[in-house]
Amino acid sequence: MQTGLEDQLGLYQKRIPIFTRSVKGRFRRFKTSVLVLAYAIYFLLPWLPWSRLDAPAQAVLFDLPGRRFLIFGLTVYPQDVIWLALLLFIAAIFLFFVTGLVGRAFCGYFCFQTLWTDFFIWIEHKIQGERPARVRLYRQPWDREKLVKVGGTHALWILVSFWTGLTFVAYFTYAPQLVVDFVTGQAAAAAYITTGILTLSTYAAAGLMREQICTYVCPYGRFQSVMYEPETLAVHYDARRGEGTLGRAVVRAGRGIVVERRRAEGAVAEERRRSSLSAGQRALAERNEKGFGDCVDCGLCVQVCPVGIDIRDGLQYKCISCGLCIDACNTIMDSFGFPRGLIRYDSEKNLAAATPAPPRVQWKRLKTIGYGVALALMIGYLGYSVATRGSFDRAVNQIRQPLYVVLSNGDIRNRYQIRITNKAAEDQTYVFSARGIPADALDLGNFNEITIKPGHSGLVQASVRLSPAVAANTQHFELVITPRGKPAEARSEKVRFDTPGKRP
């Protein structure tokens, strides 16, 4: 049910197509480099061979039937879920940390949605031409040219989407075999369903919806403002410099400078008039002297924007901080011989200063230092945990009901349950011994050793029997578990021994 404003506006706003103009510059080059690197990693990684005895020779393989992730030489089992939790925490804190410093840099350069949309725009550009040609094609009736160019664009988008989906599936099964099975109809149903869903969603998100995903679907754009501080760097238009006191002024050869005046509030274009300036008077000093700002109102910053906004209207939640408008404006500033940086990464605080300083990342703030410290601690712990992980996990629990048993000859017996999880890539046999008590005190019943498959756990029941004299002097002892043939990987566990009279 719609009410109030919704009645007037409707809940859905039809997408207005955006035809971006291509641009050259520092940020465009950086975006392209990130895209090439990210695509190289995503599409090539499943094809990277890695020699293994008990699994397909694939460097990164998420082996769901085997309940393990094989990542180069590392095998991750469900028991290592703490690593996944840590990784998610690190990713979240890293996002907050970076946003506090440089705004939505993640969105502009690294987000999957941005990367795929960027590539799809590149395809569109290659087939349909630069912005004016694409606008013309969009407006012309459906003829042979439009059918071929638009159809070709969508066909290529679907092909890239399909390969994106199939590549994702290749992370879960041996890639060369998957492609053969997929083509011959032998692949698992899940492979076809997953590839189909990802093909459709990639095509819809990067080809059809594009900036609508960032604006309406992704929650990050909505709560980014919580993480912004006055010192945060973001893409800003220097309105003081760009507008001067009289507003922007367009230079048009032979017709002088067309001035767009604005009201004192500066919100809406109010009046257009021809200025008395001649076309030759483009020098910055002359413009500034007459009260005009540095913005020549060329509109290039709007034409290159992938989300179709005008950054001159101020910082907006739709802006993904891609920096393309900076490149565009710098190109214009260069052509007029004006200083660069009319649009730039800067902070609100610096822009508001009487004389803005050169923009720089301001990290000396409590919040960013806090994020930085938390990040360093978690990354350090994760690194330490991965580097020092043994080839098996163990847990020794004392059976507490009863805590101890006094045998007929006076000896005291405690019982324990030992759980071992094999994290090695092959079957492993474990042997047990004890330190701090007589060698024959440890009794494992019929099991003197246990063999466990990779990624599986095994339980062993053990009991320790001590004479009253030894028991009286034994608070703890050490249970030693050794993978057979690998004494260097032996691990010991300090275990409590209870006797009558001791506090439980």
Helix (H, G, I), strand (E, B), or coil: what is residue 47? helix
Question: Whose CA is closest to 342, among 327, 320, 353, 354?
Answer: 327
Distance of CA 502 to the CA centre of its chain: 54
Tell me if 479 sits within 8 A of 463, measured CB to CB: no
Least distance CB 327 / ligand SF4 (angstroms) = 9
Least distance CB 11 / ligand SF4 (angstroms) = 24
Site map 278..317 versus ligand SF4, x via CB under 6 A: -----------------xxxxxxx--xxxx-x-xx-----
Q: How far apart are CA 434 and CA 126, in angstroms?
A: 72
DSSP annotation of 224: H
Least distance CB 319 / ligand SF4 (angstroms) = 3
Q: Please, which residues bridge with residue 393 across strands?
A: 421
Least distance CB 386 / ligand SF4 (angstroms) = 37
Q: How far apart are CA 64 and CA 446, in angstroms?
A: 34
Q: Which stretch binds ligand SF4 (CB under 6 A): 28-36, 67-75, 326-334, 356-364?
A: 326-334
Q: Does 328 bind ligand SF4 (CB under 6 A)?
A: yes
Q: Does 342 bind ligand SF4 (CB under 6 A)?
A: yes
Tell me if 227 sits within 8 A of 333, measured CB to CB: no
Q: Kindly report the three-state secondary structure assignment for every residue of 372-404.
A: HHHHHHHHHHHHHHHHCCCCEEEEEEECCCCCC
Select 338 or 416, whichever has its Cβ closest to ligand SF4.
338
Select 329 or 464, whichever has its Cβ closest to ligand SF4.
329
Q: Does 323 bind ligand SF4 (CB under 6 A)?
A: yes
**Ramachandran region, residue 120 (left: φ > 0; alpha: ψ -120 to 50; beta: rest):** alpha
Q: Which of 61, 70, 227, 329 binds ligand SF4 (CB under 6 A)?
A: 329
Least distance CB 135 / ligand SF4 (angstroms) = 18
Question: Whose CA is closest to 116, among 207, 25, 41?
Answer: 207
Q: How far apart are CA 496 and CA 490, in angstroms?
A: 20
Select 230 or 339, whichever has its Cβ closest to ligand SF4.
339
Least distance CB 144 / ligand SF4 (angstroms) = 34
Select 315 or 431, whichever has its Cβ closest to ligand SF4.
315
Q: Which of 173, 199, 321, 368 binds ligand SF4 (CB under 6 A)?
A: 321
Q: Does 343 bind ligand SF4 (CB under 6 A)?
A: yes
DSSP annotation of 475: S
Select 23 or 187, whichever has its Cβ closest to ligand SF4.
23
Least distance CB 108 / ligand SF4 (angstroms) = 6
Q: Does 249 bind ligand SF4 (CB under 6 A)?
A: no
Residues of span 438-457 touching ligand SF4 by CB under 6 A: none
Residue 425: other Cβ atoms inside 10 A:
18
Least distance CB 362 / ligand SF4 (angstroms) = 20
Q: How far apart are CA 293 and CA 257, in angstroms?
A: 12
Size of site (CB under 6 A) for ligand SF4: 29
Q: Does 412 bind ligand SF4 (CB under 6 A)?
A: no
Tell me if 52 sits within 8 A of 68, measured CB to CB: no
Give me 43's structure tokens. Answer: 């599409």
Residues of span 181-240 touching ligand SF4 by CB under 6 A: 235, 237
Give me 5's structure tokens. Answer: 């404003």
- Chain residues binding ligand SF4 by CB under 6 A are 235, 237, 242, 295-301, 304-307, 309, 311-312, 319-325, 328-329, 332, 342-343
